[in-house]
Amino acid sequence: MIKLENVYKAFGGQQVLDGLSFDVAEGESLVIMGPSGAGKSVILKHIIGLLQADDGLVDVIGNNMSTINSAKLQDLRRDMGYLFQHSALINWLSVYDNIALPLRETTDLSKSEINERVMEVLELVYMQDARQKFPSEISGGMQKRVGLARALCTRPKLLLYDEPEAGLDPEMSGEISRMIRRLKEELGVTSVTVTHSVNCALTIGDTLAVFEHGKLLLSGPPPEVLNSDHQRVREFLCAPID
């Protein structure tokens, strides 16, 4: 479903992706961990098509992201949902309207079809009772769930999560991770998640990849990677969290 092959990307003199390669199969959940500033969000932006590789192949659902035209990219983006680090909800719109917005803007669904979709995703994240509330009236965890519902409303095949646990306490972070896991199991979506949370990686990931200096240091089933004797991986994963 996603294939990166020898991908290079530099900003100014800084080589952020340095021959990065990985694959994500249909239905697979890949979790990427790595130091802050290493380029994890940059990886996700290459998959969404917000950034283009300097060299190498980025293939998403059969599309070469270096040569894709803008009409195709627009179609492809409808198959992708993303949850940003900060939920990025619109403050002056209700929970309901925040979710309905992408449907109103990118589809020609009727009002009643939109209503059906919004209620369906609100139910998936247990937020149907809060639909008339505004973002400032709900907790951070609930805002994340609304962000998740919004990412799901176009029924994407591929979901990208950028630090879904950011800004949440451990309990809420666990709740969001379990919800992401459940969505994978119930909807069968393929996903790539960037996280700093080992618990989140264990809950969500089929595969855990550790990324540093522009490439993967190690990847495999999360328990295997967490117990590996790769020295740098151990240092990074066992470092005290601040």
Ligand X SMILES: Nc1ncnc2c1ncn2[C@@H]1O[C@H](COP(=O)(O)OP(=O)(O)O)[C@@H](O)[C@H]1O
The listed partner (ligand X, Mg ion, none) that binds 207, CB under 5 to 8 Å by sort, is none
Structural contact between residues 159 and 191, judged by C-beta atoms closer than 8 angstroms: yes
Interacting residues with ligand X between 14 and 33 (CB under 6 A):
16
Q: What span, in angstroms and rounded, lies between the C-alpha atoms of 130 and 138? A: 8
Q: How many residues bind ligand X (CB under 6 A)?
A: 10
Q: How far is the CB of 123 from ligand X (least distance, A)?
A: 32
**Cα dihedral 62, 68, 74, 80 sign:** positive
Q: Is 145 in the site for ligand X (CB under 6 A)?
A: no
The listed partner (ligand X, Mg ion, none) that binds 188, CB under 5 to 8 Å by sort, is none
Q: Which is nearer to ligand X, 130 or 166 (CB)?
A: 166
Q: Is 36 in the site for ligand X (CB under 6 A)?
A: yes
Q: Which residue is nearest to Mg ion (CB)?
A: 41
Q: How far is the CB of 32 from ligand X (least distance, A)?
A: 9
Q: Is 231 in the site for ligand X (CB under 6 A)?
A: no
Q: Is 195 in the site for Mg ion (CB under 5 A)?
A: no
The listed partner (Mg ion, ligand X, none) that binds 37, CB under 5 to 8 Å by sort, is ligand X
Q: How far is the CB of 40 from Mg ion (least distance, A)?
A: 5
Structural contact between residues 124 and 149, judged by C-beta atoms closer than 8 angstroms: yes
Q: How far is the CB of 92 from ligand X (least distance, A)?
A: 28
Region at 37 (left for phi over 0; alpha for psi -120 to 50; beta for the rest): left
Q: What size, in residues, is the chain?
A: 242
Structural contact between residues 80 and 118, judged by C-beta atoms closer than 8 angstroms: no
Structural contact between residues 48 and 239, judged by C-beta atoms closer than 8 angstroms: no
Q: Which is nearer to ligand X, 84 or 134 (CB)?
A: 84
How far is the CA of 239 from the CAs of 35, 162, 242, in angstroms?
11, 21, 9
Q: Which is nearer to ligand X, 43 or 118 (CB)?
A: 43
Site for ligand X (CB under 6 A): which residue of 26, 37, 139, 169? Answer: 37
Tokens of 162: 């950028």
How far is the CA of 121 from the CAs of 2, 114, 128, 149, 181, in angstroms?
25, 11, 9, 5, 15
Tokens of 33: 């961990």
Interacting residues with ligand X between 155 and 184 (CB under 6 A):
none
Site for Mg ion (CB under 5 A): which residue of 9, 24, 41, 130? Answer: 41
The residue ranges that bind ligand X (CB under 6 A) are 11, 16, 34, 36-42
The residue ranges that bind Mg ion (CB under 5 A) are 41
